[in-house]
Amino acid sequence: MRIRRRVYEILEVAEEGDRTSRAFDLFIVCLIALNVLALVIATVPAFSPLSGAFRAFEAVSVVIFSLEYVLRMWSCPERTGETHPGRQRLRFAGSGMMLVDLFAILPFYITLAVPGAAVLDLRFLRAVRLMRIFRLFKLGRYSTAMKVLGRALKAKKEELGVAVFVVLILLILASSLMYFVENPAQPDVFPSIPAAMWWGVATLTTVGYGDVVPVTFLGKVLGSIVALLGIGLFALPAGILAGGFAAEVQRRKEADARCPHCGRKLESRE
């Protein structure tokens, strides 16, 4: 279908020379940015008289985002040319960016379906509406840098998983030891191991709020060791991610330096 193919080309990130696709990308990016700005401004009490305008703007935006979502689902078989479009659409609906698109519009329809329902806690409705911040993540669809970062995360997911697991083990171990050391001296400050984890997080991240501190000699020694370990361990995931990002940028440069048709390396004109 030529129409479906053209819709797919417009909705995807613009190719060189496709002004319609680039104009659409620019329009969606601006709309997302305005939605996030409206979400932030709407929390300022001075702008409460404009709440009606904010709601109207949100409604128009959700209609546009919903239409975009439906058109993406309709045109997605053009990605692979699969003969079973239903199966392709089902897989596509579960992809990362499509889930972000869905979560970006879902809160509006939830609050529309249950406006002021007495059985629901209003805090739940506010939490649902805060999910509108997912619209910010839609920008990743149109940002090359965000895509590079996403590929770097995917490439280093095993290393990041191991680093996070080690940090969690250290957090549990440090909190448990601090509980057994400090609980006899401060039973109200360290009443349990989960409560001691707040101290563990603040110490391992070297933030040190100072609201929960050890008072015994052994507790202070343990706290010093945990703080020193936290400097290196919490820097480990950042280093892994930085390495993955640099490798992805280098891979992209090498790919750009090759001919898109034959795959050969292009000659430098320098």
Per-residue pLDDT of the chain (270 residues), as tens digits, is 688 888 888 887 656 677 888 888 888 888 888 887 887 788 788 888 888 898 899 889 889 989 989 998 888 887 766 666 777 788 888 887 788 788 878 878 877 777 654 444 444 444 555 555 665 666 666 666 667 777 788 888 888 888 888 888 889 999 999 999 999 999 999 999 998 999 999 888 888 788 889 999 999 999 999 988 888 777 788 788 888 888 887 887 776 666 555 555 555 444
Q: CB count, 10 Å around CB of 119?
A: 5
Angle in degrees, 0-180, between the axes of helices 157-182 and 144-155, rounded to the nearest 10: 70
pTM recorded for the entire structure = 0.58
CATH topology of domain 143-270: Helix Hairpins (1.10.287)
CATH 1.10.287.70 residue window(s) in the chain = 143-270
Task: Write down the pLDDT at residue 139.
Answer: 61
CATH topology of domain 2-142: Four Helix Bundle (Hemerythrin (Met), subunit A) (1.20.120)
CATH 1.20.120.350 residue window(s) in the chain = 2-142
